[in-house]
Amino acid sequence: MSIQTKRVYEPPAPTDGRRYLIDRLWPRGLKKESLRLTEWLKDLAPSPGLRTWFGHDPQKYPAFRRRYRTELGKHSDLLDRLVREARSGVVTLLFAAHDAEHCNASVLRESLEERLRG
């Protein structure tokens, strides 16, 4: 059981398990079939207002993290589903951001891992 993150621009791998795109916007330059998605979970992406405010500024990341986790609280059903899937196999969260450490994928993964432990 595991949850991993991966940039959408990295090729799919057999070890990815179930692959979920967690960005609100479709990644530039990619065709849908190239991602081999299980599902596109737009509802788990940050709201347009939060995404625009954050602008991938690492200095805003602590505040972004708090605000995004609040938004995620409105989607317990989807979070619970991903946790169930992670208990039985690998779940890969796909994102387009350049900075893997300061993006929504790292926050979502952290939130899901907390639910797995709890």
Tens of pLDDT, residues 82-106? 999 999 999 999 999 999 999 999 9
Residue 1, pLDDT > 70, answer no
pLDDT at 118 over 90: no
Q: Give 26-67 pLDDT, tens digit per residue.
A: 999 999 888 999 999 999 999 999 999 999 999 999 999 999
Q: Rounded CA gap, 65 and 93, in Å?
A: 17
The answer to whether the beta carbons of residues 66 and 60 sit under 8 Å apart is no
Q: Which of 99, 95, 113 is nearest to 6 (CA)?
A: 95
Provide the number of structural domains found in the chain. Answer: 1
pLDDT computed for residue 103 by the predictor: 96
CA distance 57 to 38: 30
Is the pLDDT assigned to residue 77 strictly greater than 90? Answer: yes
What pLDDT does 33 receive?
Answer: 87
For residue 104, the enclosing domain spans 2-117
Q: Which helix (H) or strand (E) holds 112?
A: helix 104-117
